[in-house]
Amino acid sequence: MSTETHLKDLPKVDTALKGQLEAFTPDKLKKIDTEEKVTLPTKDDVEQEKQHLELVDNIKQFRSDKLKRTSTSEKIVLPTPEGMVSTEARLSIIKLVSTRHALHPMILLLHTG
């Protein structure tokens, strides 16, 4: 493959831009001194990274074959009849209060009884 064929494949550049690019010289640039700011990690950063690495190492070394088998049994506790009555009494009191009826103290005793 020759150089001419390779140049034909390249996109065309505007002549004004081409002239500016050819006239460019690096000595026209300003001299700038760059200052690198390197911040060292704090003691807390080092300690936190150490803890993280220990955790990752422990996870990698974990052996699941040393786990013991277990069985889970779910126990559902149903409410007693007394608990259901007291819950119903509380709900009826809330309903009476929410309807803004004046309640006699004797009614409250009967419902909470």
Please tell me whether residue 75 adopts helix, strand or coil conformation. Answer: coil
Residue 111 makes CB contacts below 8 A (sequence gap 6+) with 89, 92, 93
Nearest to 47 by CA among 58, 35, 55, 39: 55
**What is the pLDDT, as a whole number, of residue 3?**
53
Task: State the DSSP code for 1.
Answer: -
pLDDT in tens, 11-62: 788 888 888 888 888 888 888 888 888 889 999 999 999 999 999 999 999 9
Residue range 107-113: mean pLDDT, rounded = 53
pLDDT in tens, 79-106: 777 777 777 777 777 777 666 555 555 5
Residue range 60-74: mean pLDDT, rounded = 89
